[in-house]
Structure 1
Amino acid sequence: MVFVPSVAAVLAVALSLSPMTVLGHPGEKYGKREAMEEMGNAHVVSTMNARALEACHNSPEVKARKDRAMARRAETFARLRRERGIDNAPWLHRRDAAALQKWAALSHNKTGSFNFNKETPNKEIFGTNTSCVLTPDNANGPYFVYQEHIRSDVVEDVVGVPLHLELQFIDVQDCKPATKILVDTWSCNATGAYSGVSARGEGGLGTTYLRGVQPTDEDGVVSFDTIFPGHYAGRATHQHLIAHVGSQVLENGTYTGGNVAHLSQLFFDQTLRDTIEATAPYKDNTIPHTTNLRDWFTGYAATADYDPFPNYIMLGGDLKDGLFVWAELGLNTSSNWDYYAPYASTWKEGGGYDNPDFDFMRVASPPPTHG
């Protein structure tokens, strides 16, 4: 029998290892009460969503979608290797698991422990889904930039381990792919700096690196080419995600309007993080590392039912060949999480502009109650 900790147990571990407040960037400051309240709310919503999806888990339509996903991931893997000229190079795979402590354990190192080869069925490699379809909605952090560029390649001139990210969104209301939504993703660079914001130590309003938006296709899928994120004080390595519903695509290659129906953060296996952080340019970042267990937001996402660590494959035998990372995420397209997604700045023609109404502390505060 495998023991899996509850949400409260995971949070207790994080609280016991952390000071009273954790400060990454301004706005990522949490006390125990606020963390418990927001984690509880997120997991109630996610549990309801999970039950909605479970009812149609074995439907022919869902099975067909999963078969398409396996075939698509296999082809993406092969294409990425061809493009890098490493068709015949060895490669490594990370299998899935169910809970934060199992994946965050210091002894964990399954990256290369499975003997997969070209003859291995796609189901064995690409059929697993470590997010268990759902990831709880949680705070998006303080550096969301509104109206960012619609593009799939967000690297620009940033140096780091190449990462191809594939995300599939499923609407929990009908178990069908979430089409006609815009997916926003961003992360910091190898030394912990974000583009698009004017805060001290960040890239500045005129920068756009590692940020982009893509519309989902008929299978609810988006793909981005980025790099493996770096780290900064008080936070584990993570990738930000927001899903916009009802947005309008503009002629200048950005978007406007709509509601935020999902916001979350993906995290990465500790062994993979440690391996990458030992290489340049990541090793030049002198900011102390924060492990997954010490980070507040992994506690948001990880329970027995929800795994915030996406599946990945190293495309070749060397990190410079890059990673292929994928996850399936459930969302309710009727949800509105706008309160938890205030933006620090807006990208407009000619550059970025600070949001004069942005309050860093609002990002970390529970919504107002009425009555």
Structure 2
Amino acid sequence: MGLKAVFSGALLAASSVVAHPGHHEKVYAHAALPLERKSLDHCSEHFSQPEFVERTVEIHGREFARLRRELGLEVEESPKLSPRDYISVSKINHKSNKVVTTGMDLATLFSDAGACMLMPAVDQGPLYVKGEQVRKNITENELGIKMTLAIQVVDYKTCKTVPNAYVDIWSSNSTGIYTGVQGYPGMGDPNDASILKGTALRGLQPTDDHGVAAFDSLLPGHYDGRASHIHAIVYLGATKQPNNTVTGGKASHIGQLYFDQTLIAEIDKNTPYSKNKNKIMQNTADFLFMQGANGDDPIVRYALVGKTLSEGVFAWIRFGVNTAANKAVNPAAFMTDKGGVMNPTGPVSQIPKGGWGFGRLARAIKGGRNSDEE
């Protein structure tokens, strides 16, 4: 019996200022946090309906099976799978010890998709590049542990999935470096304009009819001042252009995804992560993680694709978004048909010349930002 059949049978049987200065990030002091800081608990009945669970499991299962086939593994095999205030969230083991076997209820794996719900107002970060390509595989030539990340977007008010949204993600590489932005301290030679050509680990994907967008990427590396994370923006109403980019629409969600501390420790035992000399910041010491995890769980659930971490990871999470929101986005740079161009009013362009002092840099970025308050 194939994995898809196993999924089907089992389901039928079961019912910010973010600044990275040096790389110490600081959150802009917003006048007020969003009035609605809810979890998706009120959607639990809807999310547990057999049809909803079946579709979610089918989509995630298809991605999981694809990754195993790429390793030359039979989809019937039984790989060990690893599963869900900020202190309690940090203690959750998001890696399940369940084993996939024929006839098991896989809904117990994928039905708990997490809920990255209406995070407190956080800027998109100083290293966002607008205008990247719509593409599933964003690894390019970067080295690291492969990760397929599935993000499901749902309307937190109606609990219904949101199709035809565009999810935009970006992250650092295995040694904590972001591509695509020139002049940011710690991210290469500030005078090297060729950095603007970098597009690795950046891209967009549309959500399907069940609100799911999936990316083939890499597990990100860490850098001094931030916990390991991935940035994400959800655009509603955007239009795909002939050059494979999107324009228009509104940013309904700006957030960041995190990883179990135990997983990060295992990642750092592998090359090239082991060559990363940056200090590791614990999730519980990262202010942005604290914001996201107070009343919510922004840590991805994950499963090993093969028998070891080095063979890759499949990770998933659910975003609850306010479809009426329209958050301001202020990119550091724009990717155009002629290459990358720095945004003259973006956060990196506001860094004063002649010094990278944390206080001076934070004040400069704060003074030049657009807030994402609604």
Taking structure 1 as the reference length, the TM-score comes to 0.80
> Is 2:65 aligned against 1:78?
yes
**Cα shift at 1:81:** 0.6
8 Å contact 1:28–1:363 — kept in the other structure? Answer: no
Q: Which residue of 2 is the match for residue 121 of structure 1?
A: 105
> Is 2:237 aligned against 1:249?
no
Partners of 1:74 and 1:175 in 2: CA distance = 22
Q: Which residue of 1 is the match for residue 212 of structure 2?
A: 221
> Is 2:26 aligned against 1:30?
yes
The gaps in structure 1 that reach 5 residues or longer are 1-20
8 Å contact 1:71–1:122 — kept in the other structure? Answer: no
Most deviating of 251-260 and 277-286: 251-260
Partners of 1:191 and 1:100 in 2: CA distance = 26
**Taking structure 1 as reference, are residues 28 and 62 closer, same or farther at Cα in structure 2, changes over 3 Å only?**
farther
Which residue of 115, 132, 150 maps to 1:148?
Answer: 132
Alignment of 1:119-268 (within 5 A): 119-131=103-115, 134=117, 136=119, 138-200=122-184, 201-202=186-187, 204-268=195-259
Q: Which residue of 2 is the match for residue 347 of structure 1?
A: 335
8 Å contact 1:185–1:212 — kept in the other structure? Answer: yes
8 Å contact 2:135–2:203 — kept in the other structure? Answer: yes
Partners of 1:173 and 1:22 in 2: CA distance = 28
**Cα shift at 1:125:** 1.7
8 Å contact 1:91–1:316 — kept in the other structure? Answer: yes
For residues 273-296 of structure 1, the C-alpha deviation after alignment (integer angstroms, 9 at most, x for no partner) is 000012110111101111101111
Partners of 1:363 and 1:79 in 2: CA distance = 47
8 Å contact 2:24–2:224 — kept in the other structure? Answer: no
Partners of 1:368 and 1:72 in 2: CA distance = 32
Aligned residue for 1:45, secondary structure, equals: coil
**Cα shift at 1:160:** 0.4
Partners of 1:22 and 1:147 in 2: CA distance = 20
Q: Which residue of 2 is the match for residue 16 of structure 1?
A: none
**Cα shift at 1:243:** 0.8
> Is 2:25 aligned against 1:41?
no
Q: Alignment length, in residue pairs?
A: 332
- Structure with more relative contact order (C-alpha pairs < 8 Å, separation 6 or more): 1
8 Å contact 1:22–1:234 — kept in the other structure? Answer: no
**Cα shift at 1:110:** 7.3
**Cα shift at 1:175:** 2.4
Q: Which amino acid aligns with 1:362?
A: K
Partners of 1:91 and 1:127 in 2: CA distance = 19
What's the C-alpha RMSD, in Å, of the aligned pairs? 2.9
8 Å contact 1:90–1:317 — kept in the other structure? Answer: no
Q: Which amino acid aligns with 2:67?
A: L
**Taking structure 1 as reference, are residues 61 and 93 closer, same or farther at Cα in structure 2, changes over 3 Å only?**
closer
**Cα shift at 1:224:** 0.3
8 Å contact 1:155–1:210 — kept in the other structure? Answer: yes
Partners of 1:368 and 1:215 in 2: CA distance = 22
8 Å contact 1:135–1:307 — kept in the other structure? Answer: no
Q: Which residue of 2 is the match for residue 294 of structure 1?
A: 285
Q: Which amino acid aligns with 1:308?
A: P
Q: Which amino acid aligns with 1:354?
A: M
8 Å contact 2:83–2:97 — kept in the other structure? Answer: no
Q: Which amino acid aligns with 2:212?
A: V
Q: Which residue of 2 is the match for residue 17 of structure 1?
A: none
Q: Which residue of 2 is the match for residue 14 of structure 1?
A: none
> Is 2:308 aligned against 1:322?
no
For residues 89-134 of structure 1, the C-alpha deviation after alignment (integer angstroms, 9 at most, x for no partner) is 65333332xx6324535xx767464455344211122222233x62
